[in-house]
Structure 1
Amino acid sequence: MTTDKTYDPVTFDIIQNALEAVADEMFVAQRKTSMSAIIYEVLDLSTSILDAKGEIAASGAGIPAFIGVLDKAIHGILKKFPLDEIRPGDVFASNDPYYGGVTHLNDMVLAAPVFAEDRLVAWVANIAHWNDVGGMVPGSMSSDATEIFQEGVRIPAVKLFDQGVENSAIFDILYVNTRLPDYLRGDLWAGIAGLRIGDRRVHELIDKYGADTFEAAVADFMELGETRARAALGKIRTGTYSFEEEQDTGQIHKVELTITDDEFIVDLRDNPAQAGSSNSSREGTEIAVQLAFKSFADPDAPGNGGFFRPLNIKTTPGTIFHVKEPGALGYYSEVEIRLFDMLLRALAHHFPGVVPAGNFASICGTVVGGPHPETGRHYTIVEPQVGGWGAWQGHDGPSGQFSGFHGETFNCPAEVAEARYGLAVDQLALNAGPGGEGQWRGGKGIDVHYRVRADHNFLSLGYTRSRIPPWGVDGGLDGSTNFVEVIRTDGTSEKFSFATNVEVNTGDVIRVVTANGGGYGDPKNRSEEDIARDLRNGYITPERAREIYGYEG
């Protein structure tokens, strides 16, 4: 680090660790005060401390793909507002992907500048999924949308507070554009509470160590991140590596990786045109690449702005990886997770032995709502789903986990779902269906049954890997697929992967099935002890065990 002043590295270490603790405290404050189970149970949020330029200095728990939003959101604010218009007491909000919101309109970013006297020294920020922000359908996520105007209220990096004074007009606009105003109000103020905790704690650090030392510690942490990234890059074989993968739709996604001594170049220019609501912003594509790069290069390094400096990402405006306004982005997550998964698969293809077999690799966003059977009040649930991860040499894949893209989050407990939502949970089990067998088998997905308790409810969803299953490795079998089955009271049923506003009524069952991960190694080499355990646990039927493993025990 170039400076005229000598700093104590121990003090730097204390400040850097303190910033991570502050981000975690912000996370806990927001979680504990939110109204919606998608936040306080599923943990569909993230928090971060950033430097004055909007680069991530430290991040809290939550969704990795969300943490990567927050630096880009601050860049959007700084692009819109001159520095002399950013003042102590300001709080900004943005959910618009075309103004730094990055993802889709359901995800609200809140950010506040931190000043030391008259100098901007840091930002505190968070992002959380709100259940409903208006738009053409309850839940605000429609696979039928073709323009962002259909997806809800757009908040284009505006001030919620101006020097500590509430801009009540913005609050009113938010409250009147949702079907769930009480929940939105609670989730909004929980986010503001998290910012206030972060602001207070960062000021305590500045008061204790001084603004210059604080900023120097942050810069040093960024340089550590970059040093770790370049060291990892130096261990990867240089060259250009191409890969393409068919998607459920029949489209082909393509990537060309070029690894040099000082750059990790990801070329995505040759990809399908944007269409419908399955598109990603340019910034969202950057996040998917950042997550794959970090997972592959150095999972234990600091995930700050410095670590991602060697990345060079190339896209073409107007494609699914670089949507142009006014393209819709409701199911952006399925585009980004497909890219994240494809990058890992490409790396697995060219650098074997590093990446496990394929996983269920979908957010599996499931939206159900309607009149509550006891109160008549409108409810909406938004649930991502867990699934099976791929096996790797010596290990079965983990079962019932969120994807690496979705990160440190949880499924909503059945007890909470039944108490808060208008549904009964008849079954919550691992997926006992076939798929993913091998010497080491893929992790199991889930098989969950929600029974509808009132008429005129609705179901919307967006699942990928619904046709093409997770891949097996070294003779292991491919996994299974993700889907939702609606079982009607008359015994008929329908299967869906993408759907909007499917009517469901009293007694109908919404069956959520997520994929088993891919297997690793020839199934004939699986140990009899492991096969017997799978049979005891109900992970495989005796008939399937005989067919795949030749097991007669």
Structure 2
Amino acid sequence: MSAPQQTDPTEVDPITFEVIRHRLESINTEQAVALKAVSGSPIVSEADDFNVGLYRADGQLVAMGRTVIYHASSMSEMVKHVIADCAEDPGINEGDCFVLNSPHKGALHAPDIGILQPIFHDGRLVAWAGACSHQLDIGGMEHGGFMPQARDIYQEGLQIPPVKLVDGGKVRSDVWSMITGMSRLPDALSLNLRGLIAANRVGTTELGKLVARYGLDTVLSVMDRLLDLSETRVRERLRELPDGVFRARSYLDHDGHTNTLHRVELELTKTGDALRFDFTGTDPEAHGFVNCTRTGLLAGVYAGVLPLLAFDIPWNSGALRAIEIVCPDRTLLTSLPPAACSQGPLGGIWMAEMTTTEAVSKLMATHPTYIDEAQASPAGGTDLFCPNGIDQYGDYSGWIVLDAMQTGGGAYAHRDGLSPQGHRCISHCQVPNVEAQEMIMPLLWLYRRLLPDSGGPGRQRGGQSASAAMTLHHAHWLRAAVGGHGFEVPTASGIFGGYPARCNARVVVRGSDFWSHVEGGEVPLEMDVLAGTVEETAAKTADFMLQAGDVFFWYPQAGGGWGDPIERDPADVQADLAQQVISAETATQIYGVVLTDGRVDEERTRTRRDEVRALRRAWPRAKEGPVAAAGEPRPTLALLGDALRIEGTVDDAVVVCRCGHALAPAAESWKEYAGVLAIDAPDLGTEIRLHRDLRSQMYACPACGRLLEIETSRPDDPPLVGAEVDLTTVGVLTEAFAARG
């Protein structure tokens, strides 16, 4: 391999630049089409759990598909590890392809196999094509690649460092046989590997055509300029925002062995045109499979940043140059061998994304324009259901049931979350049709439907998730690995007074009379009409069984709410009731409405809400105000969401509620001056459960009774100071406030 060389910069006119830029993106689309056409896996063809990309010779991401965002950073790291491990021996040459799935060499976890192909021009390495997808099985203790019983990574299936799979255009059958021979589903794995190779060949061929048309220097100059453009635009946006420190904290419950809590703590520091994500307060490695590696931490941060900060900027490595990530080794987010990590994408990585989303949203919410891009938490923890057994055709097989992807989106300041949104980390998210799943699995779906009371209440509510119910069909039993978090922690948290979304839950009615109902001409759609034993399943286990007659009910998390629920328009609450988005219980207890004959009584609702505000004004406070003269005009320096803002001067600034009450000195935590009330799980919603080691508190304005924040934490964790704005830098907001009036 000749060493990667720097490109001589070539002047490219704007039209040619845009034509080539869009062609690079369309090549990604063609790569994805090839992968989906060849792969027989429903994870790829139905759910889009994959990604493809084009990379510079040194591994920098130039253009990525809009499927799994996590894979964007993952494959970039894969390329760098292939170069480091293979450049000298066995060498990187034209026609080669390299395969790997080691979480310590760039993969997210072992089921994510990536294949990378170097792209040469006149003997010179100029770029890479990459494709990565989740596999149905890669060996190990359990079918499906997720190992709830694992104590170390060596029990979690095949771990492949960078290995040459295709040598000069010829597949190495020995390596191929070794990889597929480790799987319980070798034919499915073989077909998926061929799909990945096909995607890379498309990428290589089409990039070659682009070079032939425009010239190598022009294409590479566009790539480099594209990276620089994204970096420039991200840094420009950051300079529009004030400096400061923005924090988020969450907890992951149950590590696969014991129901322990694992804290993820983030301190985001914004300075000038750079962001520093410091996860130093995160708990040590868990004993089970919920950890992620440092690659996973990168993936979680990038998936949290890109949709918020770079919503209108090309996604590539340039957009990420302004980011520094700090975390010591051997935490939940930076595990090292021998720690288990097979559930990393649904565990540690997911938590890194959620805390990043919250912290970056708090930063964006300081700005009167960018506050509209800030978002409450989407579903804070997806659930896993990987059954295996003898299918309806008499063959052994295994699957991943993907209904848990139907999750709600987080609320915004100006609108409700989407119902359902799907996973935020999968930009182009799909869920397989029921009929497609029933063709390949011995399962019969009773229903899929939006789930009442799933989204977090708020002035703008979180989006709903969709629940599902299913039973065995033409099978006697199935065994499954199940695993999720957010069962006893409301990880889909609300923001700025919004409530969290429901917790994850699974329920099985054992030995039900389902088929008796069907024989009588009725499909039972509610759990309470079924006879049988009701059993809530463990958060994580490898020994979950479904037998003939059992009915499985699945209740995924949804999106968190934004703002005080009693500020929601009564007409919107009425519409939510009519559409069964919320229950009457939620309407009265959380939204503070009064119902008469099932309809919102607006006059009595105003009275009831005034009573709620009066109760909140009486909540105890650690410190008493006022901290500034009432009615004194003060210029706005920065927002803290849309309920609080900072007013005054740099030397004499106060945190002010939207009602005009000067709540606290800006140099202190406003929570010490707010009313505070300790609450229990039922106060948070009908489907919230709190781990025995957690507590929840509400904070409200002592003047108007507006709910400002709900915080869930360990009793020994101090109240979180969510935002500290550097007031010496708020001058950047002057024009923005003037423009918004």
Q: Does 1:58 align with 2:63?
A: yes
- The match for 1:368 among 387, 398, 413 is 387
Given candidates 522, 527, 534, the residue that maps to 2:564 is 522
Is the deviation greater in 105-114 or in 320-329? 320-329
What does residue 132 of structure 2 align with? 127
Residue 477 in structure 1 maps to residue 510 in structure 2: no
Deviation of the 1:128 alpha carbon = 0.4
1:114 aligned onto 2:136: no
1:408–1:5: structure 2 CA closer, same or farther, 3 Å change rule? Answer: closer
Distance 1:185 1:243 in 2: 42
| Matching residue of 2:270 | 259
Tell me, yes or no, if structure 1 residue 386 matches structure 2 residue 392: no
Residue 100 (structure 1) aligned to one of 102, 106, 117 = 106
Displacement of 1:8 in angstroms is 3.2
Larger Rg: 2
Is the 8 Å Cα contact of residues 388 and 396 (structure 2) preserved in structure 1?
no
Give the letter aligned to residue 254 of structure 1: E
What is the aligned partner in structure 2 of residue 458 from structure 1?
479
Q: CA deviation at 1:202?
A: 0.8
- Within 1, Cα distance between the matches of 2:577 and 2:247? 41
Distance in 1 between residues matched to 2:110 and 2:10, nearest whole Å? 45
Give the Cα separation in 2 of the matches to 1:199 and 1:411: 30
Deviation at 1:184, TM superposition (A): 1.0
Name the amino acid aligned to 1:43.
D
Deviations 1:377-400 (A, max 9, x none): 323225352212222233221112
Q: TM-score, with normalisation over the residues of structure 2? A: 0.71
How far 1:201 sits from its partner (Å)?
0.4
In 1: Cα distance, 2:485 partner to 2:426 partner: 14
Per-residue deviation, residues 338-373 of structure 1 (Å, max 9, x unmatched): 111112222344553452223222232321221113
- Structure 1 position 302, deviation (Å): 1.1
Hey, what's the Cα distance between the residues in 2 that align with 1:336 and 1:479?
20
Alignment of 1:135-214 (within 5 A): 135-214=140-219
Contact 1:381 1:421 survives alignment (8 Å): no
* Equivalent residues of 1:379, 1:422 under 8 A apart: no
When structure 1 is superposed on structure 2, of 87-96 and 345-354 the one drifting more is: 345-354
Whole-Å separation in 2 of the counterparts to 1:422 and 1:312? 47
**Alignment match, 1:287:** 299
Q: Which residue of the partner structure matches residue 317 of structure 2?
A: 305
Q: In the alignment, is residue 18 of structure 1 matched against residue 38 of structure 2?
A: no
Partner of 1:445: 465
Which residue identity lines up with residue 515 of structure 1 in the other structure? Q
Query: Are the aligned partners of 2:496 and 2:564 in contact in 1 as well (CA < 8 Å)?
Result: yes
Distance 2:34 2:281 in 1: 43
Cα displacement string for residues 279-302 of structure 1 (whole angstroms, at most 9, x for unaligned residues): 111121112122223233221111
Q: Percent identity?
A: 27
Between 139-148 and 249-258, the greater mean CA deviation after superposition = 249-258
CA contact (8 A) 1:360 1:482 kept: no
* 1:37-84 Cα deviation digits (max 9, x unpaired): 111000101000111111111112311111221111100100101268
In structure 1, C-alpha distance between the alignment counterparts of 2:95 and 2:174, rounded to whole Å: 17
Q: TM-score, normalised by structure 1?
A: 0.95
Cα separation, 1, equivalents of 2:246 and 2:40:
47
Closer/same/farther in 2, CA of residues 138 and 23 from structure 1, 3 Å limit: same
Residue 5 of structure 1, CA deviation: 4.5
Per-residue deviation, 1:270 = 2.9
Secondary structure at 1:484 match in 2: strand
Moved more, 71-80 or 208-217: 208-217
Counterpart position of 2:50: 45
d(CA) in 2 for partners of 1:544 and 1:241? 31
Give aligned pairs, total: 552
Which letter does structure 2 place at the counterpart of 1:314? V
- 1:164 shift after superposition: 1.1
Residue of 219, 222, 229 corresponding to 2:224: 219
**Per-residue deviation, residues 404-463 of structure 1 (Å, max 9, x unmatched):** 223322112111111111111111111124662333322111210121232331122222
What does residue range 406-445 of structure 1 map to in structure 2 within 5 Å?
406-433=426-453, 436-445=456-465
Contact 1:27 1:61 in 2 (8 A): no
Aligned partners of 1:321 and 1:327: how far apart in 2?
Answer: 11
**Retained in 2: the 8 A contact 1:93–1:160?**
yes
**Residue 233 (structure 1) aligns with:** 238
The answer on whether the counterparts of 2:247 and 2:268 sit within 8 Å (CA) in structure 1 is: yes
Tell me the secondary structure at the aligned position of residue 82 of structure 1: helix
- Stretches of structure 1 that go unaligned for 5 or more consecutive residues are none
Counterpart residue identity of residue 483, structure 1: A
Shift of 1:231: 0.8
SS of alignment partner, residue 62 of structure 1: coil
Question: RMSD of the alignment, in Å?
Answer: 2.1
Native 8 Å contact 1:34 1:186 kept in 2? yes
The aligned amino acid for 2:432 is C
Q: Secondary structure at the match of 2:231?
A: helix
- Shift of the 370–70 alpha-carbon distance from structure 1 to 2, 3 Å rule, reads same
CA gap 1:425/1:404 in 2 versus in 1, 3 angstroms:
same
Unaligned runs of 5+ in 2: 1-5, 254-259, 366-370, 512-531, 600-741
